[in-house]
A and B are shown apart, each in its own frame.
Chain A
Amino acid sequence: MNRLMLDYNVLYIVLVVAGLVFFAAIFLSTRPAQRAKPASVERWMGREVAWFAIVIVILLGSLAATIGHTPWNASAKAGRQLVTVTALQYGFKFSTTTMHVDRQVEFHLKSLDVNHGFAVFDPSGTFVAQAQMVPGYDTTLRLTFTKPGKYVVRCFEYCGIGHAAMVGAFRVVGA
């Protein structure tokens, strides 16, 4: 399992649990004993502005923390290996299928027919990265592999009835 994906999901579960507690409190407050307590609708109406501000702050914080992490922002390193991958229903054609540990690989992703997805899984089956392969365009994806072994590539964009059979592979060897 990808560690980053796991971290996001743990955070998500924490937020969901908090939400469930909140809704439980709201729904249980409609019991006769609870609703007998005074509740000012006007006060909660006024606090909506504060809630609006809280939401804005949370969203801006999340934006600031994550916007720099995009799949295209890896800068090119000297000595990188250039690999062209061409997709065609239903397979991937690699200019080479041997790559090296700790040496940046610059994939040039192309498609000759329809949209395909280039999704890379490491030797333990963990999802590493992905990018779209669009006909008529050359997409650059730079990755540095740290584990030697066989990497599997799966098509991640529906491309026709043979989509589930569109699998490729390459090997990463020691430096």
Chain B
Amino acid sequence: MTVTTYEESCGLEIPEPATGTTDLAKVRALTLRYLVVSTILFAAGGLLGVLLRQSQADLDRISPNLWYEVMTAHGLATFVGWAAFALMGVTWWVLAECGLPIQGWGWRFAVACFWTMTVGATGVVVTTLGMGFAGSWVFLYPLPFHGGSWSLRATGIFSLAILSVGLSIFAYCFGVIAVVLGDGLGARSRRWNNRLGCALGFGYIWPKRFATERPVPFPVLPLTVIAIDMIIATIPLAVLLVEMVIQSLWSGVTVDPVLAKSMLWWFGHPVVYLLLFPAVAVYYHLIPRYAKRPLVAGHIIGIGWLIGVCANVVIGAHHMYLDFPNTFQQTVNIGMQPLTYAVTIPSALSLYSLSFTIYRSDFQWTPAARFLAVGMVSWLVAGLQGVGLATIQFDALAHNTLWVVGHFHNMALLNIGLVVFASVYAFVPRLTGRDWHSRRLADWHLVLTVVGGYGSVVPWMLQGLEGAPRRWAVLPQKYESLSQVALPFVLLIVIGQAIFFYNLARTIGWRSVSVSLGARVHADDTVNPTERPTEALGAVLAATGVAFALLCLASKPLVWAPLGILAGYTATTLGTRRQGWWAVLAAAVLMLVGLAGFRVPS
């Protein structure tokens, strides 16, 4: 690809991705496909989150049934469908740019990972919003069989959908391992176990025994660690899901609740690192590029990741500190605290390395670099919260309060989410051959996301400090005012993401979207934009604007009409001027009708 991007014009050295037996155009299109589908899931999941938050603030209260269905869908759509899925896609591109070609079994698993995740995400949407499954995204056994408001069939299909997500994770892990075991790593040994040791960074500790032709690229370390850990972590969950499918058919089959809980959390904590470790790989990959110097890391980083690969996979039980029915479990809980502390070591070392890579460097503050820099700050802010929660004495008071909700949104949106955005800003020009439509809009995206994000997270933490419970559709009265304080900040997040979607759509063009969603790619296809890039997206937005306008006749016209106007106006900028203005007009008129008191009988 011969397009000169803004980043290249800054004098940055951007490596050409490694080529193998699979066409590079296919790898580009696959990575873009991951990013487009995960972004769509982010938009959907994010809107569901807004619906939850405004309902808790009593703006337009929804029923508990719907609230918990939406809560289940929101958690899975944003955590797995967006952040994990996007970073899975980014993984392939990072590995390729590190000189490891995506080919053979690596390529096959990358494709399988995409489709199994897409099937799983679709199943989650159908079973939650369509079939009423509201067992929460951790579906704590045996709740899925005692819901009352959803059927056993919904539980069975939901379990199959999550099983598909689990298969996607397996495919991802096997794909990463297949790629790092290939010749691209430069390992001198032909033995697979020695090569795996090289990919884990053992060569930084024992350079003679794990010799390589070149230093192992640092992003390979966290990716290999998470690939190994997630295979071990996902097997028990898959067994539990199979049991749940069987139980949905034959109710006599059951499993012990504590065992089920342990199987869930055995997976449930490492899966957080399915987001964080690929995000670390992106930091390792991009920060040195923008600083124009190698990562400031020595052999100790190898020790850090060795601790990480061992500790990460066994610490899930720290989610069960408040389960202490017998001495065995109490002893396990005691052991969890030091092990959980241990897994913070790779983070502490990484933040050190990244910080001093930036220190006094000719750092290029590109849009992606700004997202990463703020992400690093959030990593520390949210990481310190994590150390607190790892401490039994503190967790006994914070567990299942909104403080925890604040913590993981801080980590997932304002660290990992910012890394996802940084990846999009850094890689999309290389994937599509087109530079960003607007860097200024990227800056606005960052500012609105961060201000809105922290304005949204801090009230949760303050509520949690006062003992506000999480997963309550309607909070006790004393916590309501802080829920309302958060709402304007939630709106800032929404505006920030609307700007992002607009900028992304203008940048990549409709043809790139269609290619990424499954159109055939040829070897010489540069996935370039076309003359009519965004009309289809504009039409969808205009239709959404009209839908918001119609909701004014059901309730809260002052809520729905501005959203309709925003969607309609955005559509006017995407080449669908007439439809967009019709949507704006409809929202304005129906707002007046709604304010006059007219309501469609329910």
Whole-angstrom CA separation of A6 from B388 in the bound complex = 12
Task: Determine the chain A residues whose CB is within 8 A of the CB of B294 once the complex forms.
Answer: 41
Supply 22 A–B pairs (Cβ within 8 Å), ascending by A: A29-B358, A29-B359, A29-B360, A30-B362, A48-B296, A52-B304, A55-B349, A59-B338, A63-B338, A66-B391, A66-B392, A67-B338, A70-B396, A121-B467, A127-B467, A130-B322, A130-B397, A134-B323, A155-B469, A161-B134, A161-B473, A164-B472
* 1-53 of chain A: CB within 8 A of chain B: 1-2, 4-6, 8-9, 12, 15-16, 19-20, 22-23, 26-27, 29-30, 34-35, 37, 39, 41, 44-46, 48-49, 51-52
Chain A interface (Cβ within 8 Å of chain B)? 1-2, 4-6, 8-9, 12, 15-16, 19-20, 22-23, 26-27, 29-30, 34-35, 37, 39, 41, 44-46, 48-49, 51-52, 55-56, 59, 62-63, 66-67, 69-72, 89, 113-115, 117, 119, 121, 125-127, 129-132, 134-140, 154-164
Cβ-based interface call for B582 (8 A): no
- Once A35-B362, A39-B360 are accepted as A-B contacts, the answer to whether A49 and B298 lie under 8 Å apart by CB is yes
Task: Determine the chain A residues whose CB is within 8 A of the CB of B153 once the complex forms.
Answer: none
Query: Which 10 A-B pairs give the minimum distances between C-beta atoms?
Result: A127-B467, A39-B360, A137-B325, A69-B393, A30-B363, A164-B472, A44-B356, A158-B471, A72-B324, A156-B400
The answer to whether B149 touches A161 (Cβ under 8 A) is: yes
The answer to whether B64 touches A164 (Cβ under 8 A) is: yes
The answer to whether B64 touches A70 (Cβ under 8 A) is: no
Chain B: minimal CB distance from A29 (Å):
5
The answer to whether B148 touches A131 (Cβ under 8 A) is: no
Cβ-based interface call for B455 (8 A): no
The answer to whether A19 touches B381 (Cβ under 8 A) is: yes
Our pick among A23, A55, A66, A154 for the contact of B355 (Cβ within 8 Å) is: A23
- Once A30-B360, A114-B143 are accepted as A-B contacts, the answer to whether A126 and B257 lie under 8 Å apart by CB is no
Give the one of A9, A30, A46, A49 with max B CB within 10 A: A30
Whole-angstrom CA separation of A141 from B321 in the bound complex = 13
- Once A30-B363, A163-B473 are accepted as A-B contacts, the answer to whether A136 and B148 lie under 8 Å apart by CB is no
The answer to whether B360 touches A34 (Cβ under 8 A) is: yes
* 249-289 of chain B: CB within 8 A of chain A: 256-258, 261
- Once A19-B384, A134-B261 are accepted as A-B contacts, the answer to whether A63 and B349 lie under 8 Å apart by CB is no
Of the four ranges (under 10, 10 to 19, 20 to 34, 35 or more), the interface on chain B belongs to: 35 or more
Whole-angstrom CA separation of A27 from B364 in the bound complex = 11
Cβ-based interface call for B387 (8 A): yes
The answer to whether A20 touches B377 (Cβ under 8 A) is: yes
Task: Determine the chain B residues whose CB is within 8 A of the CB of A55 once the complex forms.
Answer: 344-345, 348-349
Chain A: minimal CB distance from B68 (Å):
5
Task: Determine the chain A residues whose CB is within 8 A of the CB of B437 once the complex forms.
Answer: none
The answer to whether A160 touches B143 (Cβ under 8 A) is: yes
Our pick among B68, B330, B338, B398 for the contact of A5 (Cβ within 8 Å) is: B398
* 307-344 of chain B: CB within 8 A of chain A: 320-326, 330, 333-334, 337-338, 341-342, 344
The answer to whether B341 touches A48 (Cβ under 8 A) is: no
Residue of A nearest to B323 (CB): A132
Whole-angstrom CA separation of A173 from B101 in the bound complex = 72
Our pick among B146, B360, B400 for the contact of A35 (Cβ within 8 Å) is: B360
- Once A115-B143, A161-B134 are accepted as A-B contacts, the answer to whether A156 and B466 lie under 8 Å apart by CB is no
Chain B: minimal CB distance from A64 (Å):
10
Residue of B nearest to A20 (CB): B377
